[in-house]
Structure 1
Amino acid sequence: MLVFVTGGVRSGKSDFAERRAISLLKENGSNLHYIATNQVYDKEMQERVKRHQQTREKSGANWIVWEQPRKIDELFSHFKKDDVLLLDCVTTLVSNELFSGWETNSEKWKNVVFQFEIEQNLKCLFSQLAGAPWHVVIVSNEVSYDGFASDEGTKVYKRLLGRLHQHIVLLAKEAIMVECGLPCWKKGGIRT
C-alpha cells in the first residue's frame, strides 16, 4: 500500500505522515522504518532534523532510521513483508538526484537526457515501492505555491517534481494534502 502526503512548508505534513505510518504499523505492520533524504548543510537543517528526531522519540514507536539522500533502492534488502516505510521527503530526494555534484560545480542537471534519466529512475523507484510487500508513506512538498521561478534550475526542478507527484498519486491508494495541520484526502481514505 502506498500513501502520499503532501502540503506546503510547515503545514504539518511530516507529523501527519508519521502518525499515519504508526497507524499502518498497528493495523498490520511488522517493523517501522524512517528513510531520511535530507543532507545537513546548515544550522537550520540541523534544527529541523533534531525536531523530527524528537517527534519520533515521543511517538513511542520503535523507528529504524535510514539516512539515505539518494539511491533509495539500495535499502530494499533491509525490508521484509508488512514493514512500514516512511520516506521523507521527495522534494529533497529529487533535489539530491537532480543536482548531484553541485559541490564540484557540476551542472549535469542542464542536460535534457540527464533530466529524463532522473525522472525515469525515480518513477521506477516509486513504482517499485508501490508494488512491494511493504506499506509505504511518502512525504513531499507543494513547491508550486511559491509562485513562478525565475532561474532555469528551479524551473526544471519544479516541472520534474510536478510530474513525479502525478506519478506517485496514480500509484497511491491514498493521497492526502495537509494544510494548517489538517489532512484533506484527495484520493482514498476519508474525504474532508
Structure 2
Amino acid sequence: MICFMTGGVRSGKSRYAEQRAIELAQKKDCRLHYLATSAVYDGEMEQRVNFHQQQRQASGQNWHVWEQERNVDTLLAQIDKQDVVLLDCVTTLVSNELFYGWERGEERWRDADYQRKVVAKLTALFTQLAADYQAVIVSNEVTSDLPVADEGTFVYQRILGQLHCELVALADEAIELECGVPCWKKGGRVC
C-alpha cells in the first residue's frame, strides 16, 4: 500500500505525511520507520533536517529513523513488513541517485543508459514498497515550473515526472498539498 504525497516546497507535505503514517501505524499497532534521504551539504539543509527532527520528536511517536542518501532499497530487509514506512523524499533521492559522483566531476547523468538504470532502480524500490509494506512517500512538485534552460535540470525533471507517474499508478492514495491543505487526487476523498 502506498500513500503518495506531493506539493510545492514547504507546502506542509512532510507534516501531513507524518500524521498519515502515525494514523496507519496506530491502526495496525506497529512500528514507524522514517527513511530520510537528505544529505546535509549547507546551512539551509542543516536547518531543514533539524526542523524535521524536532517535528518528529514533537509527534510523541517512537520513530525508527534511517538516514541514507542512496540505495534505500538495502534498508528494507531490516524493516518488518507489517510496519509503516515513511520515505521523505523522492526529489532528494532522485537527485542523489542521478547526480552521484558530481562532486568528483563525474557526469554519468548525461548517459541515457544510466538514466534508465536510475529509473529502473527507483521503480523497483517503489514496487517493493507497494507490494510488501504500508508506505507513505513524499515528493516535491517541481515539474510544473517554467521551462528550464540547463540540461541537468531538464533530465532531472523528466525523470522525476516519470517516477511520479509510476508512484501514482502504484498508489492507493495520491494527495497534493497546497498551502497545508490536502487535496486527494486518488483514493480517499477528491478535491
Do they fold alike, i.e. is TM over 0.5? yes
Corresponding residue for residue 159 of structure 1: 158
TM-score normalised by the chain length of structure 2 = 0.98
Return the offset for 1:77.
1.5
Instruction: Give distance in 2, aligned partners of 1:65 and 1:146.
Output: 32
Instruction: Give distance in 1, aligned partners of 2:117 and 2:168.
Output: 20
1:16-65 per-position Cα deviation (integer Å, ceiling 9, x unaligned): 00000000011114110000000000000000000000100010000000
CA gap of 1:117–1:171, structure 2 versus 1, over 3 A, is same
Instruction: Give distance in 2, aligned partners of 1:76 and 1:57.
Output: 23
1:99-145 per-position Cα deviation (integer Å, ceiling 9, x unaligned): 0001100000000110111111111111111001x210000000023
Q: What 5-or-longer segments of structure 2 have no aligned partner? A: none
Instruction: Give distance in 2, aligned partners of 1:146 and 1:48.
Output: 22
Corresponding residue for residue 123 of structure 1: 123
1:62-108 per-position Cα deviation (integer Å, ceiling 9, x unaligned): 00000011111110111113201100000000000000001100000
CA gap of 1:173–1:29, structure 2 versus 1, over 3 A, is farther
SS in 1 for 2:26: helix
- Asked if 2 retains the 8 angstrom alpha-carbon contact of 1:35 and 1:67, the reply is yes
CA gap of 1:29–1:165, structure 2 versus 1, over 3 A, is farther
- How many pairs are equivalent? 191
Q: What 5-or-longer segments of structure 1 have no aligned partner? A: none
Corresponding residue for residue 190 of structure 1: 189
Query: What one-letter code is carried by the residue in structure 2 that aligns with 1:78?
Result: Q
Q: How does 1:45-84 map to 2 (within 5 A)?
A: 45-84=45-84
- Asked if 2 retains the 8 angstrom alpha-carbon contact of 1:29 and 1:82, the reply is no
SS in 2 for 1:128: helix
Corresponding residue for residue 148 of structure 2: 149
Query: What one-letter code is carried by the residue in structure 1 that aligns with 2:66?
Result: W
SS in 2 for 1:66: strand
Instruction: Give distance in 1, aligned partners of 2:135 and 2:81.
Output: 12
TM-score normalised by the chain length of structure 1 = 0.97
Query: What one-letter code is carried by the residue in structure 2 that aligns with 1:147?
Result: L
1:139-192 per-position Cα deviation (integer Å, ceiling 9, x unaligned): 000002331111000000000000000000000000000000000000001223
Q: Which portions of structure 1, spanning 4 or more consecutive aligned residues, are displaced by more than 6 angstroms?
A: none
Instruction: Give distance in 1, aligned partners of 2:112 and 2:82.
Output: 38
Instruction: Give distance in 2, aligned partners of 1:186 and 1:101.
Output: 36
Q: How does 1:14-93 map to 2 (within 5 A)?
A: 14-93=14-93
Instruction: Give distance in 2, aligned partners of 1:162 and 1:145.
Output: 10
SS in 2 for 1:141: coil
Instruction: Give distance in 2, aligned partners of 1:87 and 1:152.
Output: 27
